[in-house]
């Protein structure tokens, strides 16, 4: 399987659990949404749809990444691109 360029790696920080998870590929984003997401809601479902659509070139990776970040915020994560000092 060929990996799709996801852009700069990002780190999700859980404010409640104090854990971090680095997401470097769109495949990792898909896995997080499917199996490691703390809640199941419409934002997560929409992000998963966008990520999977980007994996088959039906939407842009940029749109999928934005949906993933929106779902991360809704789930209570702080997300930052590696090297950035500000949260996204």
* Ordered per-residue pLDDT tens for the chain, 88 residues: 567 778 889 999 987 777 899 999 999 999 999 999 988 999 999 999 999 999 999 999 999 999 999 999 999 999 887 654 433 3
Nearest in space to 72 (alpha carbons), one of 35, 42, 30, 44: 44
How far is residue 58's CA from residue 54's CA, in Å, rounded to a whole number?
6
H-helix segments, the chain? 26-35, 42-55, 61-74
**Structural Rg of the chain based on CA atoms:** 12
């Amino acid at each position: 399987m060929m990996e799709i360029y996801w852009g700069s790696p990002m780190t999700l920080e859980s404010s409640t659990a104090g854990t971090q998870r680095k997401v470097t590929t769109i495949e990792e984003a898909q896995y997080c949404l499917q199996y490691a997401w703390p809640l199941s809601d419409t934002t997560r479902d929409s992000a998963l749809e966008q990520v999977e659509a980007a994996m088959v070139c039906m939407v842009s990776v940029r749109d999928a990444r934005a949906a993933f970040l929106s779902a991360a915020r809704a789930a209570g994560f702080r997300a930052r691109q590696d090297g950035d000092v500000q949260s996204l």
